Amino acid sequence: MSASAALITATELFAKPEQIDAVAEAWQAHNDASGFEGRILYRGLESNSVLELAPLHHGFEQMEELRADWWKLWEAVGPLGEGDFRRQFLQFVEAPKPAAGALPDTHYVQMRHVEVVPRVYRQYRAWREETIFDVVRTTDEVKSFQAFHSLASTEPGVMFVSGFDADPAKYMEAFTSPRYQQIVREAGDTYITGGDNGLYTRIYERVTA
């Protein structure tokens, strides 16, 4: 049975390349002083950003605590960013490869976002079980793979959180194979909305130990 958190937050801040180290350091110092458990920081490999994943063990009952904490984070880290924080509340759906804990305990994570047309969501769930999840289960480099869905986000839809320790190039082999490219084409033709945010993937390296 998966130990995945029923609800997590994903918070990201973009900065200039020369400010990323300062963002990560200030953010980690904030988290160390906050008293919240289980937060993990990552640094973007393909983008100048820092990403935090955090489990909400008590769900929305934590909202007032979060509101106060996020204001302190905005004051401590926000001035280092190139824009405002981007936040998502993500609800756990299923895990073809469960993580041992609430979040992946891996050196890297990949965030795989898909915005699915609601009228075909049921069909999409059945389709991904036979396609995407089959690739995940048979790929040794994928250590954990959790499927979430947005509850509140400026980027609505499905979010896969994939944890891995292998070199990113090695990990990506399964997702750049001819078979997976066919899966992507099928998804685009049948399930995914149009626009720039219908589908994207981003890899991050863990900052915290």
Q: Where are the alpha helices (DSSP H) in 148-201?
A: 168-172, 178-190
Task: Specify whether the CB–CB gap between 114 and 158 falls below 8 A.
Answer: yes
Check whether 198 has a pLDDT greater than 80.
Answer: no
Check whether 61 has a pLDDT greater than 50.
Answer: yes
Pick 25 or 155 by higher pLDDT: 25
Sequence length of the chain is 209
Task: Specify whether the CB–CB gap between 23 and 15 falls below 8 A.
Answer: yes
Query: Which token pair is 80?
Result: 């280092």
User: In degrees rounded to 5, what are phi and psi of residue 201?
Assistant: -135, 140
Q: What are the pLDDT digits (tens) for 164-194?
A: 999 999 999 999 999 999 999 999 889 998 7
User: In degrees rounded to 5, what are phi and psi of residue 144?
Assistant: -150, 155
